[in-house]
Structure 1
Amino acid sequence: EHGPGVVVGALEFFLDRPAPATVRCSSAAAQLLAVSHAAIGQLMAHNPRALAALQVLLMRSACMDLASAQEAANHAAL
């Protein structure tokens, strides 16, 4: 289960790996965005400011994933 601001599948997307799971959304209020490799290429070529914003979002998501993993490891060690 994920909350607001979560990016799902970024690792697989950027490493060109198949998705290991199907994601389903149970909230009618959620805003979902699916991005293709071609769209990222266009973003890189034509809109560097939007690309920079996407990079910040992806870094924040990666940091949240790492923090969650660290908390789980710390909890398991208790």
Structure 2
Amino acid sequence: IDMLSYLMATKKNVCLVCLDFAGISTNPVDLSKLFSKHQLKIFERQNVVKDPLALQEFDCRKQLVQRSK
């Protein structure tokens, strides 16, 4: 299964980070479908530099996940 198929099918929240659209797909129709069906949150560099609290959404874990020893 490719990434776009997974994103379209999953019920889980997914955080996808990319630098440009070509990092997601080179097919404009795929991008249009993805963007029309899902919520997007865009963090622009200039805004984050001016207001570091803009990244507060990423501070959402209760605690670190315990890995096996």
TM-score, normalising length from structure 1?
0.37
Higher helix share: 1
